[in-house]
Amino acid sequence: MPSSALSPEAKLHQDVLDYFEFWPSHAASIVALVLMFLAGTAVLVITVRTRAWFMLIATIVAYLEVVGFGLRLDMFNHPVRGVYITMQCLLIIPPSFLALIDYMALGKLVALIQVTKPPGTKFTLKPKFITWIFFGLEIASLAAQGAGAGLSVGGNTGPPVNAGAGKGLLIAGLVTLVVLIAFFLCTTIYVQRNPQMQVPECRPTMRLIFLGLYATTILLLIRNTFRVVEFSNGWYGWIARHEVFFYVFDSLIIFSWLCVMVPLHFGINIKRLQQQTAPLAQNTDIAGKGFPGGHNVVADSGVRNTEMV
């Protein structure tokens, strides 16, 4: 039946189906929106208390997810191209920024441990490598994902070549991110096992930081691997048309990442590590090197306890 012959309700229903290729769950979107907001707010409260401002990335990602699910709900009443493109971009791209938190947390841990070593000690791994190398590759990956997502979604109503190029860019960005996260996981294992990183007085706190790093990194590895498989299957492939995969391997993963950061918040444990390494600090020239903004992780009698950037 031509769309002009459909009733307003039937046309609205058909428009939603045209964008999603299935009827999305209204209840699931509401639940995801509420849970993301609560988890993001919980992390924000701890971030403000510890003044670990780099952790604001987590709350920003959570709130962008909230907006994304809000737009998903709006699609039930206003299924238009602009809303759909914005929704998809907000649900696909922001979670990738969570990896930046892990990079910064490991960089800060390495810097704090290295300041306890005698001046002149040669280190096989420098904080600058962890922060800037991973940061640079991450931003390149995110740029590819952003361009790819825009072309892929917009390509549904534009030239087919745009959709094909967009899909290629998006998958390339996601594959790069998967490889980057896997390499970071190996780097984290190396740091934990490196004899130069052993400080008996800090072992319990370091164990908590590494536990948080492993949990969050593995969750991101699962999420981004799923995204690669999903988009390789096609924008409207079998996986994309079964909503349960999206909620289990994407939304639930992001929610779990945020939940992990409630008891294992890096702000709490890095601040505690700062306090423990302050009396042991010997090589303060290392402090702060390699961190965006050039902030010193050791200051004021050996440690800056009130603010971590």
Domain boundaries, the chain: 7-276
pLDDT score at 304 = 44
What burial letters (b/e) apply to 27-48, b meaning 16+ CB within 10 Å? ebbeebbebbbebbebbbebbe
Residue 297's nearest CA partner among 160, 144, 122, 107 is 107
Residue 145's nearest CA partner among 74, 32, 223, 52 is 223
Per-residue pLDDT, averaged over 175-184, amounts to 90
Alpha-carbon distance of 114 to 147, in angstroms, equals 39
Q: Residue written as tokens 């992001």? A: 254
Per-residue pLDDT, averaged over 183-192, amounts to 93
Q: pLDDT band at 294, cuts 50/70/90?
A: very low
Task: List, for residues 277-292, the tens digit of each pLDDT value.
Answer: 888 776 555 544 444 4
Is the per-residue pLDDT at 1 higher than 50?
A: no
pLDDT score at 299 = 44
Which has more pLDDT, 92 or 250?
250
Alpha-carbon distance of 204 to 214, in angstroms, equals 15
pLDDT score at 136 = 83
Per-residue pLDDT, averaged over 119-142, amounts to 77
CB 172 within 8 A of CB 152: no
Q: Which fold has domain 7-276?
A: Rhopdopsin 7-helix transmembrane proteins (1.20.1070)
Is the per-residue pLDDT at 188 higher than 90?
A: yes
Is the per-residue pLDDT at 65 higher than 90?
A: yes
Whole-number percent of the chain with pLDDT over 90: 49
Q: Vertex 294, ends 292 and 300: CA angle to 5°?
A: 130
Q: pLDDT band at 159, cuts 50/70/90?
A: very low
Residue 240's nearest CA partner among 1, 21, 4 is 21
Alpha-carbon distance of 153 to 145, in angstroms, equals 12
Per-residue pLDDT, averaged over 202-226, amounts to 96
pLDDT score at 153 = 61
Amino acid at position 74, single letter: D
Alpha-carbon distance of 144 to 96, in angstroms, equals 12
Q: What's the mean per-residue pLDDT of the chain?
A: 83
Rounded to two decimals, what is the model's pTM? 0.85
Greatest pairwise CA separation for the chain in angstroms: 81
Per-residue pLDDT, averaged over 203-214, amounts to 96
Task: List, for residues 254-269, the tens digit of each pLDDT value.
Answer: 999 999 999 999 999 9
Q: pLDDT band at 5, cuts 50/70/90?
A: low
Whole-number percent of the chain with pLDDT over 70: 83
pLDDT score at 287 = 47
